[in-house]
Amino acid sequence: MTPAIDTLEAAIAWHVRLRDGDEGDWLAFTTWLEEDADHSRAFDQVSATDRLLPAVLDGRSPAVLPVAVNDDHPPAPLGRRLRWSGPLAAVAAGLAIIVGTTTWWAAQPQFYAVESPPGEHRTVTMPDGSTALLSGGTRLVFDRNNPRFAELAGGEALFTVRHDSSRPFSLAAGGHIVRDVGTAFNLLLDADRFSIEVLHGAVLLDPERGPVRLGAGQTLAAENGRPSLIGRKNPSTMAGWKRGVLSYSEVKVERVARDLSRHLGVQVVAGADVAEVPFTGSIHLDPAAGATVRAFSATLGTQARQDGQKWVIGRAIRASR
Partner 1 sequence: MSSINPSAGSDRSGLFGIFIECRPALLRLLAARQAAPDEAEDILQELFLKLRSDGMVPVAEPRAYLFRAVENLLIDRRRSSSRRTLREDAWTGLQAGSGLGTDDAPSIEQTLIAREELAAVTRAITALPDRTVHALRRYRIDGASQREIAQEMGISLSAVEKHLQKAYKALVEIRSAIDADLSAPRRQISDRES
Which residue type sits at 201?
Answer: G
Give whichever of 65 and 272 is closer to partner 1, judged by the CB atom: 65
Is there binding between residue 97 and partner 1 (CB under 8 A)? no
Give whichever of 14 and 111 is closer to partner 1, judged by the CB atom: 14
Site for partner 1 in 210-269 (CB under 8 A): 210-215, 218-221, 226-234, 237, 240, 245, 247-250
Q: Which CA distances in Å does 300 have to 247, 249, 257, 278?
A: 14, 14, 12, 10
Q: Shortest Cβ distance from residue 220 to partner 1 (Å)?
A: 8
Give the C-alpha separation, 187 to 135, whole Å.
10
Residue 226 exposed, middle or buried by CB count within 10 Å (0-12, 13-18, 19+): exposed
Is there binding between residue 102 and partner 1 (CB under 8 A)? no
Answer yes or no: are the C-beta atoms of 265 and 120 closer than 8 Å: yes
State which of residues 173, 196, 204, 274 lies at the interface with partner 1 (CB under 8 A). 204
Is there binding between residue 200 and partner 1 (CB under 8 A)? no
Give the C-alpha separation, 186 to 138, whole Å.
13
Looking only at the bridges linking them, the beta strands covering 268-270 and 310-313 are parallel
Answer yes or no: are the C-beta atoms of 89 and 99 closer than 8 Å: no
State which of residues 4, 16, 288, 298 lies at the interface with partner 1 (CB under 8 A). 16
State which of residues 28, 69, 81, 168 lies at the interface with partner 1 (CB under 8 A). 81
Binding residues for partner 1, rule CB under 8 A, total: 83
DSSP 243: G
Give the C-alpha separation, 52 to 108, whole Å.
40
Give the C-alpha separation, 81 to 77, whole Å.
8
Is there binding between residue 298 and partner 1 (CB under 8 A)? no
Is there binding between residue 64 and partner 1 (CB under 8 A)? yes
Site for partner 1 in 147-176 (CB under 8 A): none
Q: Shortest Cβ distance from residue 321 to partner 1 (Å)?
A: 25
Selected range binding partner 1 among 60-68, 85-93, 125-133, 287-295, rule: CB under 8 A:
60-68
